[in-house]
Amino acid sequence: QSRVEEYAQLPDLLFKYFTITDDKQVGGVYLWRNADSRAAFYDPAWHAGIEERYGTAASLDLFAAPLVLLNSSPAGE
Query: pLDDT confidence of 77, banded at 50, 70, 90?
Result: low
pTM of the model: 0.78
Q: Which DSSP symbol is given to 70? A: -
Number of Cβ atoms within 10 Å of the Cβ of 32: 20
Task: Give the whole-angstrom CA distance, residue 32 versus residue 60.
Answer: 14
Within 13 A of 73's CA, how many CA atoms are on the CB side? Answer: 3
pLDDT at 1: 62
What does the pLDDT look like over 4-63, one tens digit per residue? 999 999 999 999 999 999 998 889 999 999 999 999 999 999 999 999 988 999 999 999
